[in-house]
Every structure is written in C-alpha cells, then in structure tokens.
A and B are shown apart, each in its own frame.
Chain A
Amino acid sequence: MPFMKGRAPVRYTLRYLEQGKLVLKDNIRIMTVNYNTGHKPSHGAYDFVFWHLPQLQYKNPEVQFLVFRNMTPSPFLQVYFGDGQKLLSQLDSQPKNDIFEHVKRVFCKSDEQLGAETLAKQKMANPANFGIGCARECMCEIPGQVPCTCFVVPPKELRGKFRFMGKDVEEDS
C-alpha cells in the first residue's frame, strides 16, 4: 500500500507503531479475533483490530495474528499458548477501549516487567558496562587498564603503605 493512502494511514507510520503498548507475554504463540462485518455487537472488536492490530504485530513479530470475519454468531478473541493451552475472551458489544484494557491486563506484560526487561537489555547491550551479567566482570580485563590487586601487586607509588605511612621504597628494599 502506498504511504499515506487509504483509511487512517497514520496506522502505518513508524511512530504510531512504536507507540503500541501491547507487548504479549512470552509463551503466547497465536492470537485470533473473530467478528462480523456490519454487525453492531462486533463494532468494538472491529475497531480494536483496525487500530491496534498493526501495533500488536509490530511489537510482537514472533506471534501469529489471525482475523476471521463473518464466521461466528458473536465476536470473540482466542489466544493459543506454547504449551498447547488456549484461552477465549468474549467481545460481544464491548467498546474498543475496554477490549484494549482487557487484553493489556490479561495477555500483556506489565509496565514494571517491560521496564525491567528494557533495563536488562540496555545493560547487556552497552559495552561500557562491566560487572556481573555484563560482557566483562571487571574493568581490569581490558588491556591497558590497571589490573586488580588480587592478581598483580601494584607499584609502591600507588600503595598507601609507602605513600602515606612514609615507608620509603629504597628503605624497604
């Protein structure tokens, strides 16, 4: 589809897609939505698909999304999990925002979880970080940096024993 053509082309902008708040849980594999066209109780489901399906697909590239039209007496949403289990939500006569909140509360990761994951990703991704869980545990692993004192005794000029306690290097030797 050409850019900025069709109904509500804002749906296809990168900014809109990135603003999606629905990040599904890890064990969800397939999500299907059934609704009828021209059916008043299906309006909410239709609007949800119209506005949020692009964002969902953008945020969850590993999940398969399917939409079935005119195959059901009342609209519903079904989610299939990796271990073969599935859950079904009725969407009859529910407005779009209620469906959005319901999906976010039940099937999506919480804001705290998302924040923690983002932080962990940033921590792991940033090569400047060091410590447990990073690419290197200690700064001394990088060539050219001062090695840890558990491996190498530092020169006497850097040791307080000689600098502050007045023990001369020559005297000691």
Chain B
Amino acid sequence: MSCLRCAVKFLTKSPAADGIIGLPGPLIQSVRGIKPRWLPKSKSKIFYVRTPTPIDPVEHEQLMTLYFHYRAHLRSIRSFICSQHLQQLQAAKQRTIEQEDKVADFKKMEEEISQWNARVQVVREERQAQEAQWEQKRVERKMTRVERRKLRRLEQAEQKLQSDMEAAPKFITMDNLDTEIEKLLNMRIDYNFAIDKQGNKFSADSTSKKDDAKDSEQKEAAKG
C-alpha cells in the first residue's frame, strides 16, 4: 500500500530577486513500504523486547574518554574561532568609527580654520591697505623731491649759462690772442707779500709805506 507524504516546501528567496519566485504549496510524494499510522502493532511483535546491544565496559570507557576529548577540542576551536571573529568585528567597527571620527574631526578643523582665517584676513587687508597708503605717500614725497632737485639743477645750469654768456666777450679768440699774450707778458706780479690768519695780504710796498707813515706821525707828535 502506498502512502502519500505531504510536505510544504517554501521556496527560498533568490538572492538576486527581491520577491518570492513561486507560491508556497504542498509537495506530494508517494512513499511505499510503510504501514499507515492507524494500523496497530502486529500480533507477532506485541511482546517483542529488543535485546540491548552488548557494551564492553573498557571499550565504552575508552570511547567516552575519546568522545569527551573530541568535544573539548571542538569546543575550544569553536570558541577560539568565535573570539577571533568577534575581535575582527570589533576591530572593523573600531576602524569605521575612527574613520568617521577622522572625517568629522577634519571637517570641524576646516570650519574653525576658515573662521580664524576670515578674522585674520580682515586684519591683514587693513594692514596692507595702510601699507599701500604709506608707500604711495612715500613715492609721492620722493617724486616731489626729485622734481625739486631737477628744477634746482636746471636753475643752476641756467645761471651758469647766463654767467658764461656774460663772460663771453672776454674770451680769448684767435683774433685777440697776440694782444692777450702781450698783455700777460707785460703784466708784473709781486709775490713778495705776507699773509695773516684772516687771509689779508701784506706786500712789501704797503708795509714800508705804513712804516713811513708811522714814523712821520711819531716825528710830528715829538715836534708838537
């Protein structure tokens, strides 16, 4: 006799698709060689008691020891892997947090610096404007000074030109060269004179004249 075994199999979601692919429904399969549930135990087996499998105590003890050892090893490996995995998770989480902190921290620094720079920029621009003003004034002063100097030099040049032009008739030319040479040759200069600290010249003639004048004055005074 055949039996029908029903099972409901829920189709699992495909990782690629979001929705359910098919509807859940009963999967019916016929199973043979099994008694139906409502049939009682057969008469021949009503008082049947299964003889337990003989167990060798030494072997059993050995097997149990091995089994406990195996379980202990498995447990230790499992706990080791678990702890490793936890550590990795923790480290990854920590790294993410640190990265986020770093980004946030950098943003905060940028904001603070932009505020500071804006404040300093005002000071700097004021200072630069002031310096530019000073520089402009300095350049203006210098230009004025240069202009004044140019003017003065021009005036001096003009004066010199004027004086030269005035002196031009006295210049020695080829026409009056001989006359001038003759004049110089005939000119006698007496270098026999003394000089005092003020630069006054005392020639021999003037001193002798002075001495004569003094003597005559003294004689007149003696007569009087």
Contact = CB atoms under 8 A, between A and B. Distances in A.
A90 B116 CA distance: 8
Contacts of B120: 89-94
A107 interface: yes
Contact of B110 (A74, A87, A91, A92): A87
B112 interface: yes
Nearest to B121: A90
B102 A27 contact: yes
A25 B124 CA distance: 29
Contacts of B112: 105-106
Interface in B91-149: 102, 105-106, 109-110, 112-113, 116-117, 120-121, 123-124, 127
Interface residues of B, number: 14
Contacts, number: 39
A102 B116 CA distance: 8
A72 to B, nearest CB: 12
B126 to A, nearest CB: 9
A173 interface: no
A81 B105 CA distance: 12
Given A89-B113, A91-B120, 17 more contacts: A27-B102, A41-B124, A81-B106, A87-B109, A88-B113, A90-B124, A92-B120, A92-B123, A92-B124, A92-B127, A93-B120, A93-B123, A94-B123, A102-B116, A106-B109, A106-B113, A106-B116
